[in-house]
Amino acid sequence: MDILVILFLVTGLFFFLGGAVGIIRMPDFYSRLHPAGKLDTLGIFAMVTGLAIYNLHHFSFDALLLSAKMFLIVFFVFLSSPTATHSIVDAGMRAGLRHWTKKKRKG
């Protein structure tokens, strides 16, 4: 059981690492949104799954309720993350920010 928890946590940490590196390396802010919005969401999903499994070690009704509450966080993040991403993209669009393309780099 502990191995499963460790596996989930390391997977989540790896996703977070990918998100952080992507945020640093991407050329413009539209493409920075891709790792920021999505890899973090999946990282939260993996890590909360691992923690919820660890929480169910000493099985009781309270522990079950607590794990349900943790998955409420995941549900909320899955619902709110596209909305937040969309609102940032919309703000950039209305400000007239152009996106990075390959041709621009050559010229």
Site for other proteins in 7-66 (CB under 8 A): 9, 12-44, 47-48, 51, 54-55, 62, 65-66
Using CB under 8 A, pick the residue from 58, 70, 106, 107 that binds other proteins: 70
Q: Which is nearer to other proteins, 51 or 59 (CB)?
A: 51
Q: Is 4 in the site for other proteins (CB under 8 A)?
A: no
C-alpha 106: how far from chain center = 33
Q: Quote the CA–CA distance of 28 and 71 in Å, as a whole number.
A: 33
36 close to 19: Cβ distance less than 8 angstroms: yes
Using CB under 8 A, pick the residue from 2, 60, 106, 107 that binds other proteins: 2
Tell the smallest beta-carbon distance from residue 59 to other proteins (Å). Answer: 15
Side chain identity at 88, as an amino acid letter?
I
Using CB under 8 A, pick the residue from 58, 94, 106, 107 that binds other proteins: 94
Using CB under 8 A, pick the residue from 3, 58, 59, 95 that binds other proteins: 95
Q: Which is nearer to other proteins, 59 or 94 (CB)?
A: 94
Q: What is the 8-class DSSP label of residue 85?
A: H
**Structure tokens belonging to residue 62:** 């309270």
Q: Quote the CA–CA distance of 75 and 71 in Å, as a whole number.
A: 6
Q: Quote the CA–CA distance of 21 and 18 in Å, as a whole number.
A: 5
